[in-house]
A and B are shown apart, each in its own frame.
Chain A
């Protein structure tokens, strides 16, 4: 269970076994059934969650419509990050799509690690920078690419999610109507007769 987290961390900094153990002993294992909420609108986020198993979505309401901003699977971190960082009430809801297991760490513990271990503070800085760049990239993608281009790029890079996630959620994430998603999916399958590979 800790191996995937270790891999994740090593993308940013090389922690010694002792340093990783310090981090690991702070973690809590949390299990959720499907369609359970980790955080609701108005609550303050206290956790960073690393997905060990399962599938989770993060979304907010625009009027009555759900707008999905993240779909996290094994090896991803999910959290209402702005609330976590700022201490302000969450604008987002985080909800499981499948039964899920997380390694979670609280804000108080993260702060303690930052205080005592500069390398872990560096890890924090790099993970936040990564979140920031992802947001930037997605913003540009939405400005630059039309619906079809966005769809194709997403499917190319996230074939696993196309198999696992209900279509209406993927459509919401890609900011398109479910019908459009459906139509584009058929087009793509028609274009690649070998569909089903990978």
Chain B
């Protein structure tokens, strides 16, 4: 385990500090006292961070890179999350229930995660009075986001879902293989290609 205070990770840790302070104000000293509970984990591209059937032992925030969470089915893989810098990702059912994971978490690019283990999280809840509030507000926010995505999937057309995503995640099309984004948006790969061509009619002249 690397020491989180070491400098290459400072920008990521500063980001984490700001992110958490968005929920509950944490002074520099308070944030620093949390650091011994955290781990910095580095992964190559295209490796599995959590395998199918393994028990998830961490909550992670992505400091660098892109992670894909998916359900491996018989004939396909269904992408349920594409997490990039600043996003929280883990196999939450497995983490909280201490049960085998039904989802795989795999890297797309080389990835750095800032992680807290299940046991350390319990220690943090015991020792830091502010942690309860932080945890509550964080989970509330994840819950709200999940509902928002659910509504989007149901209420919006394929085209609207595509346009929304491209507008709000302009870099993802360059960084993530198209089939993964298509799966995440629940759009057939052929349809996704067609919609992508629609995006750039002006450049046809080149």
A and B part of one assembly = yes
Checking B71, B150, B154 against A135 with a beta-carbon cut-off of 8 angstroms, the contacting residue is B150
Q: A85-B143, A91-B151, A128-B140 are in contact. Are A136 and B133 (CB under 8 A)?
A: no
The interface bits of chain A over 74-91 (1 if a CB of B lies within 8 angstroms of the residue's CB, else 0) are 000000011001100001
Q: Does A67 contact B (CB under 8 A)?
A: yes
**In the complex, chain B residues whose CB is within 8 Å of the CB of A137:** 93
How many A-B residue pairs have C-beta atoms within 8 angstroms? Tell me: 68
Decide if A122 touches B132 in the complex (CB within 8 Å): yes
CB A81 to nearest CB in B, in angstroms, measures 7
A63 to chain B: closest residue by CB = B155
Decide if B92 touches A144 in the complex (CB within 8 Å): no
CB A9 to nearest CB in B, in angstroms, measures 16
Decide if B71 touches A132 in the complex (CB within 8 Å): no
B interface SS class:
helix
B74 to chain A: closest residue by CB = A144
CB B101 to nearest CB in A, in angstroms, measures 11
Decide if B96 touches A133 in the complex (CB within 8 Å): yes
**In the complex, chain B residues whose CB is within 8 Å of the CB of A136:** 92-93, 146
Q: Does A139 contact B (CB under 8 A)?
A: yes
The interface bits of chain A over 113-127 (1 if a CB of B lies within 8 angstroms of the residue's CB, else 0) are 010001001101100
A88 to chain B: closest residue by CB = B144
**In the complex, chain B residues whose CB is within 8 Å of the CB of A121:** 132-133, 136
Could you tell me which A residues sit within 8 Å of B by CB distance? 60, 62, 67, 81-82, 85-86, 91, 114, 118, 121-122, 124-125, 128-129, 131-133, 135-137, 139-140, 143-144
Decide if A125 touches B135 in the complex (CB within 8 Å): yes
CB B150 to nearest CB in A, in angstroms, measures 7
A69 to chain B: closest residue by CB = B150
Question: Roughly how many angstroms separate A62 CA and B150 CA in the complex, as a whole number?
Answer: 12
Q: A62-B155, A125-B139 are in contact. Are A85 and B150 (CB under 8 A)?
A: no
User: Could you pull out 15 A-B pairs where Cβ atoms are within 8 angstroms?
Assistant: A60-B151, A82-B144, A86-B140, A114-B136, A118-B129, A121-B136, A125-B135, A125-B139, A128-B136, A132-B139, A133-B92, A135-B150, A137-B93, A140-B103, A144-B71
Q: A82-B144, A128-B143, A135-B150 are in contact. Are A143 and B133 (CB under 8 A)?
A: no
**In the complex, chain B residues whose CB is within 8 Å of the CB of A135:** 143, 146-147, 150
Decide if A81 touches B143 in the complex (CB within 8 Å): yes
Q: Does B80 contact A (CB under 8 A)?
A: yes
**In the complex, chain A residues whose CB is within 8 Å of the CB of B132:** 118, 121-122, 125
Decide if A133 touches B146 in the complex (CB within 8 Å): no
Decide if A132 touches B142 in the complex (CB within 8 Å): yes
